[in-house]
A and B are shown apart, each in its own frame.
Chain A
Amino acid sequence: MTLRAHIVVARGSLNLDVWLNAAPGEVVALLGPNGAGKTTILRCLAGLLAIERGSIEVLGRVVDDPSTGTFVPSEQRSCGVVFQQYLLFPHMSVLENVAFGLRARGADKAAAYDQARAWLGRVGSEGLERSRPDELSGGQAQRIALARALASEPKLLLLDEPLAALDAGTKVDVRRELRRHLTEFAGSAVLVTHDPVDAYTLADRVVIVEQGHVVQDGTFVEIAAHPRSAYVAELVGVNLLTGSMMGGIFAVDGGATLVVAAEDVDGAAIAVIRPQAVSLHASRPEGSMRNVWTATVIDVDHRADRVRVRLQGPIQLTAEITAAAADALRIKVGLQLWAAVKATEIAVTLN
Chain B
Amino acid sequence: MAARTVRRIERSLPWPAFALAVLAIAFFALPLVGLMSRAPWSDVGSILGSTAVRQALKLSIVCSLCATALSVLLGLPLAWLLARKRFIGRSFVRALCTLSMVLPPVVGGLALLYALGRRGVVGQYLDRWFDVRLPFTSAGVVIAQTFVAMPFFVVTVEAALRQADAGHDDAARTLGASSWYTFRRVTLPAVRPALVAGAVLSWARAFGEFGATIMFAGSLPGKTQTLPLSVYITLDSDPQQAIVIALLMVAVSFGVLVALRDRWLGGGERAT
Contact = CB atoms under 8 A, between A and B. Distances in A.
B167 A104 contact: no
B174 A81 contact: yes
Contacts of A47: 173-174
Nearest to A76: B176
Bin chain A's interface residue count: 20 to 34
Given A90-B190, A91-B189, A74 B167 contact: no
B168 A75 contact: no
A338 interface: no
Interface of B: 165, 167-168, 170-179, 181-182, 185-186, 189-190, 192
Contact of B178 (A77, A89, A104, A152): A104
5 contacts: A75-B178, A76-B176, A87-B170, A91-B190, A100-B172
A79 B189 CA distance: 25
Interface of A: 46-48, 73-81, 83, 85, 87, 89-91, 100-101, 104-105, 148-149, 152
A18 B179 CA distance: 29
Given A89-B186, A90-B190, A104-B181, A75 B167 contact: no
- Main SS of the interface on chain B? helix
A2 to B, nearest CB: 17
A342 B165 CA distance: 48
A140 to B, nearest CB: 17
A104 B175 CA distance: 8
Given A89-B186, A90-B190, A91-B189, A101 B175 contact: yes
Nearest to A85: B167
Contacts of B177: 75, 100-101, 104
Contacts of A104: 172, 175-178, 181-182, 185
B60 to A, nearest CB: 35
Contacts of B179: 75
Contacts of A48: 170, 173-174
B190 A79 contact: no
Contacts of B171: 81, 83, 87, 89
Contacts of B174: 46-48, 74-75, 77, 79-81, 149
A89 B167 CA distance: 10
Contacts of B176: 75-76, 78, 101, 104-105, 152
Nearest to A153: B176
Contacts of A74: 170, 173-174
